[in-house]
Amino acid sequence: MGNNLEFTNPGFLWLLLCIPIIAIWFFLVRKKDSANLKISNTSGFSQQNVWAKLKPILYLLRLAAIALLIVALARPRNVEVSKKTKTTRGIDIVMAIDVSASMLAKDLKPNRLEALKAVAIKFVNKRPNDRIGIVVYAGESFTQTPITSDKAIVKNTIRKIRWGQIDDGTAIGMGLGSAVNRLKDSKAKSKVIILLTDGVNNTGFVDPKTATDLAKGLNIKVYTIGLGTNGTALFPVAKDLNGKLIFRNAPVEIDEKLLRYIAKETGGKYFRATGNRKLESIYNEINKLEKTKIEEFKYYNYKERYRSLVIFAGILILFEMLLRFTVYRSFI
C-alpha cells in the first residue's frame, strides 16, 4: 500500500486474533459436515474424491475474506505530508567590528581578529532567515557590506576583513554611528547591532553616547562585546626592517563602563570575551536571545485504501459461493 501507511480505526485490528479461532473451528471441530455412507466400492466416486480433498479451500477463501474485511474496518490510508514555513518576524543585524591594530593581539588564537572572523561566520550560518550587514571601524568607520539576505556575500566579506584598511585608532562612537545609520531605514520588526571592540574610545568625531541615543531613539538593541584577556597580552608595537610586526606584552585596556552603558541604554547586554571559547559562547547566547519566529504549516493528503480491500473480499466471497453451489454442491 505504499509508505506512510496508517489506520484510522486501529482498534479493529484486534479482531484479527479471531481468525485462528475460526480456523480451528473450521478444520478441527467441524470434521463432519456431510452424512456418512457405507458402500462396497468407491471407484465410481474417484473424481469426486479429488474435489472433496480440495474442499478446505472454501474455508480458506472465507477466512481470507473475513481478514480483509477486518483490515478494511480499520480504514488503512496513505498519508502524504507537505510542509511550508513562513517567517513572521524578521531581524536585521549589523555587526560592527573593531579592526584596529590591537585586534592582532595574540591572547586569542591565532589572534583576536582571526578568532572573531571564525566565530562570526558560524553566527551568520545560524541566522538563515535574517538580513545581516557588516561595519568595520578603527580610527574611522565605513560599511563593508550593506544589510543583505545573501549570506554568501556576508561570509565572504568577513573572511576578507584585514587590519590596515583604514587609519588606526578606536572610534567606538563612529563604529556605532555607522551601524545605526545602516538600520535607520530598516522595516524589520527587530533591529540589532553587535558591537565588538578590544580597546577604549580614543578618536573619531562622533561621541559614543550620542550614537547610543540615536540607537535608543530608533529602537535598535545593541549587544556589546569587550574582547581581550584579563591582564596582559602580546600586542603589535612596531615593524622590523623586513616589515614584520614586533609584539610585546602590554596591559589589556577595555572601556567596559562605556560598553555596559551602551548595552543598558538600548536594551541589549554586555559580554566580556577573554578567550576563543568564551567568544563563541557569547555569539551563541546572542543567537538564542534574538530568535526569528517562524510558522510551520503542514498539509495532509489522505488516500483511502479500504475500498480495494472490501472489493477483494467480496470477490473472494463470490468465488467461494460459486464453488460451493456448483462444484461442491453435491458435497454440502
Q: Cell numbers of 174, please?
A: 563612529
Of 186, 211, 213, 175, give the one whose Cα is nearest residue 132.
186
Q: For the full predicted model, state whether its pTM sits above 0.85.
A: no
Which DSSP letter does residue 267 get? T
Helices (H), the chain: 18-24, 46-53, 56-73, 112-125, 151-159, 172-183, 208-217, 256-266, 276-289, 306-324
Taking the C-alpha atoms of residue 315 and residue 328, their distance in angstroms, rounded to an integer, is 18
Domain coordinates of the chain in residue numbers? 5-30+47-81+299-331, 89-292
Of 4-18, 145-159, 248-262, the range with the lowest mean pLDDT is 4-18
Q: For residue range 278-323, what is the model confidence (pLDDT) as tens digits? A: 999 999 999 988 876 655 566 778 788 888 888 888 888 888 888 7
Ranked by mean pLDDT, which of 2-6, 80-84, 292-296, 299-303 comes out on top? 299-303
CATH superfamily of 89-292: von Willebrand factor, type A domain (3.40.50.410)
Confidence of residue 161 (pLDDT cuts 50, 70, 90): very high
Cell numbers placing 159: 573572511
Torsion of Cα atoms, 89 then 92 then 93 then 96, to 10°: -160
Contact of 189 with 220, CB cutoff 8 Å:
no
Q: What pLDDT shows up at residue 282?
A: 95
Q: What is the pLDDT of residues 20-68, one digit of tens each?
A: 887 777 767 665 555 555 555 555 555 555 555 666 777 788 888 888 8
